[in-house]
Amino acid sequence: MIRLFAALTIPQDLGLALARRQTGVEGARWRPLDALHVTLRFFGEIREDVARDLDAELSAVRGRPFEIALSGVGAFGDGPDIHAIWAGVAESEPLRRLARACETAARRAGLKADSRHYRPHVTLAYLRHPDPAEVAAWIQANNLLKSPAIPVRSFGLYSSFLGSEQAHYRLEAEYPLT
């Protein structure tokens, strides 16, 4: 079994700018630079043969290069159940099309449909029982986040290995947009 997801990488200079914002919430597990990405579709734990089929389906995804931009910040969860802080991605129809194409590839490879609403973002930190006021203050201090345009020329298939403190990611395949 292998744990997989499709994602866009964040350029290093933008990652460094995001890293400067990773402070001010006690107990936050801030994501390292190499873990910052925009998930297109989380596939979960799948068998190796299904992973090969998924790779073949993702290889067939077609699309033109496009740009995205980060815009705003937020959190998932409410009150003491807040569990993540994120940077948002500005609305992008080409990004949504690419995410739908990854969903279609997953279904063609035999995976179940993802029933969650797609909300593109970059997870900056995972939280356990944070002080909601501290999270609100962080959001208020960072809510005007805007990035320059980020060129998207490809997307990747990543494996995820869960460690004791954080997940580690490895690029398994890259798919160009031409």
Task: Give the residue numbers annotated as catalytic, written as ranges.
Answer: 37, 121
Q: How far is CA 41 from CA 78, 136, 145, 165, in A?
A: 24, 28, 24, 23
DSSP string, 53-114: HHHHHHHT-----EEE-EEEEEEES-GGG--EEEEEE---HHHHHHHHHHHHHHHHTTPPPP
Strand partners, 145: none
Q: Is 163 exposed, middle or buried (0-12, 13-18, 19+ CB in 10 A)?
A: exposed
The conformation of residue 134, written as its DSSP 8-state character, comes to: H
Strand partners, 39: 7
